[in-house]
Amino acid sequence: MEYLKSIFYFVVAGLFEIGGGYLIWLWIREGRGIEFAILGAVILVLYGVIPTLQPANFGRVYAAYGGIFIFMALLWGWQVDKITPDRFEIIGATIALFGVFIIMYWPRS
């Protein structure tokens, strides 16, 4: 059950980081209103809190989160921006996810 909770926290953190960053992107790059920037900033602050719920130390959590971020950023681009990942992005994201599972969930003595 701890694994499922941990994965849930990673996914929520990814959604908050990417979603908040995307709102800032829309504000700066596409001239959307200041409300996009404010909401994006609030979401990014909340993103900073979510990893503290993980059952591991800071370095391990953030190292593993990098792989989750890679995977989720490609999914976001595919679903939101309608840019299909190419085979090299898919291979790289798969390797990163393997790294996540080794870093976070591999049994330790």
Residues 11-68: pLDDT tens digits?
999 999 999 999 999 999 999 999 999 999 999 999 999 999 998 999 999 999 999 9
Domain ranges of the chain: 2-105
- Nearest alpha carbon to residue 76 among 6, 25, 7, 8: 25
107: left (phi over 0), alpha (psi -120 to 50) or beta: beta
pTM for the model? 0.89
Tokens of 24: 């800032």
